[in-house]
Structure 1
């Protein structure tokens, strides 16, 4: 029987701790024999390239880290057999136009295709059409907005606009056997998907997507089967050593195997574990947490109120990781807070800051974040202020 085996890896980029191994192309030390064999067995291999390949020292101005890898480190990515990279993500535009151009050239020179971004807003390459063993498979990449938007004459990524994205998926499905969507978004550090993400995945499936995968959260989430489609909410990292401390979330990830035949497709998640300088195949394949969350997610969708409450409570607990950063940002420059930050633990500082926000102020902030009108006004005001400080 004719079939296609596709392997999909999560967030992937060389980091200073393993630049030397990537530059040598040392996939055995980075990934181990078992993982290398798995990749060698596939007909096609795709990863999310979480950053850019450039030797530039000119990052863009943004909140959060600017991430890149030297162009020489592409060697191990090539040796692992990666065929295509998605570039519609958080960090692909961290080094501006030069980083964009360098990444395009580095990948092209090494025979690696890419999609999810383009030269300008009107020239985005959002998808890649494959023809393998008689099957037509289309890969589509879209991302939420970060510091990555394209301009009229400036490169950027394929941003999520529901009407346009669903229309494009509907048209793409008409000319392929299988359609896979790589969605870059969600809340970093959460193992539980949000209602917004669920709605978006279902709408994309309604318009032809067979498989929808979310990346960016750096955590393994849940899976869902829906009317013949498959959703993976949170793939976790593949090899992305941005942080030195290895939390339980950062210590694992999934490589998704998708096997396509004329009768349909099957999926199989393979758990990988982070090592000091790379990642390896988890011989125990302990996916108990993944399947337990997926079961609870199914119960939520079936209308189980207790499951819904538990799921949303766990989502809220994970999201609390962002609370301190939010409070510090909203508070602005405060000499007293600056002094307390020197002597208080993060938890003590968080509790102190919360004491400065009466309930009505927390409610006002929630309104600004939740309401479309205030959200749009806030973006406009802040954009104008930033332009005046240039």
Structure 2
């Protein structure tokens, strides 16, 4: 934990950078870091192009430009297991995680309604593949403690924590897919108890990390305004200490902006859209990379939307007038999200 500076009685301590104490060296003050986040990734259909060498080259510069990059991986990483009894099930080889890492992704958020499409055997394979490919995963684990644990790293003396959880699970599978004290699965905030656990975890993390980000799988498919459940959870997380709350699921972009809650200010993006996906319809191919600057002293000091479009299953950044129009469209979604522009 960072040491707090104080003047005690008549003793004056001169601090040039960070804090110091008689029993230890100065702790450097956190410097601003950038974190890039992007939406839903699978490797089914046309998005299998991302498995090919160079398949993500077009978007890789955006992913690599940030100090830390996180995307939502919406597929089991396995060649085995048994498909769940649902309309859509996704799985991909371990090489998929490797391709994401090569393109600049640092962390895979995997709490969503497809992460366990191939059962607990698929979950075991996913965790093993993450280790083998060297790409950390969050939101899933062998029990609830592991699933709700954040990814932690220190960049430029800025201690960053990233949580992942899902509000979206098929009702027939929710019990089997939710991690508990004795059951593998994912961090679910579908219930009040799950949401409270995440909020409490964020509040506890606030005292040990300089920057706290929460990635969520949430919203209603093909609805470009957030639900009341999304808004309530975003409010509670910002009030608890989250500097940024971002997510995806709707297959569309939703509004982004600043939210004040509990005397704190945080940045919220309710919908990042699809990212590496077999999308074809007009609004479902609208995508992008959100880059946030986290000063390490609370909140988000800058946010930049880098628009892209999905072509043949993979994201391709937009330029010129097309990019400007895409940014305007993203901004037009803010009013129904009830967020501030600055």
**TM bin (shorter chain):** 0.7 to 0.9
Given candidates 282, 285, 291, the residue that maps to 1:248 is 282
Q: Deviations over 1:2-55 (max 9, x none)?
A: 431211111112123343x4443323xx442xx222222222111111111111
Paired position in structure 2 for 1:3:
32
Alignment coverage as a number of residue pairs: 291
1:315-334 matched pairs, under 5 angstroms: none
TM-score (norm 2): 0.79
CA distance in 2, matches of 1:60, 1:40: 35
Paired position in structure 2 for 1:210:
243
Q: Deviations over 1:136-186 (max 9, x none)?
A: 111011112513323564321011123222211110111111111111111
Q: Which runs of 5+ in 2 are unaligned?
A: 1-29
Structure 1 stretch 192-201 or stretch 134-143: which is displaced more? Answer: 192-201
Matched, 1:110 2:133: yes
The 3 A distance-change label for structure 1 pair 145 and 155 is: farther
The 3 A distance-change label for structure 1 pair 216 and 296 is: closer
Secondary structure of 1:206's match? Answer: helix
Paired position in structure 2 for 1:280:
316
Residue 78 of structure 1 deviates from its aligned partner by 2.2
CA distance in 1, matches of 2:339, 2:79: 49
Given candidates 66, 69, 72, the residue that maps to 1:45 is 69
Paired position in structure 2 for 1:71:
94
Superposition RMSD on alpha carbons, in Å? 2.2
CA distance in 2, matches of 1:299, 1:208: 17
Paired position in structure 2 for 1:366:
none
The 3 A distance-change label for structure 1 pair 2 and 208 is: closer
Q: Which runs of 5+ in 1 are unaligned?
A: 301-390
Paired position in structure 2 for 1:373:
none
Matched, 1:36 2:60: yes
1:162-311 matched pairs, under 5 angstroms: 162-227=195-260, 228-241=265-278, 243=279, 246-262=280-296, 265-283=301-319, 284-285=322-323, 286-298=326-338
Residue 296 of structure 1 deviates from its aligned partner by 4.7
Name the structure, 1 or 2, with higher relative contact order (CA <8 Å, separation 6+). 2
Q: Deviations over 1:81-110 (max 9, x none)?
A: 211111111100110111111111112111
Matched, 1:26 2:59: no
Secondary structure of 1:141's match? Answer: strand
Secondary structure of 1:64's match? Answer: coil
The 3 A distance-change label for structure 1 pair 240 and 18 is: closer
CA distance in 2, matches of 1:134, 1:193: 35
Higher Rg: 1
CA distance in 1, matches of 2:52, 2:214: 32
CA distance in 2, matches of 1:105, 1:207: 33
CA distance in 2, matches of 1:299, 1:82: 28
Secondary structure of 2:37's match? Answer: strand
Paired position in structure 2 for 1:119:
142
Secondary structure of 2:202's match? Answer: helix
Secondary structure of 1:14's match? Answer: coil
CA distance in 2, matches of 1:184, 1:296: 19
Higher percent of residues as helix: 1
Structure 1 stretch 80-89 or stretch 160-169: which is displaced more? Answer: 160-169
Paired position in structure 2 for 1:92:
115
Secondary structure of 2:83's match? Answer: coil
Secondary structure of 1:136's match? Answer: strand
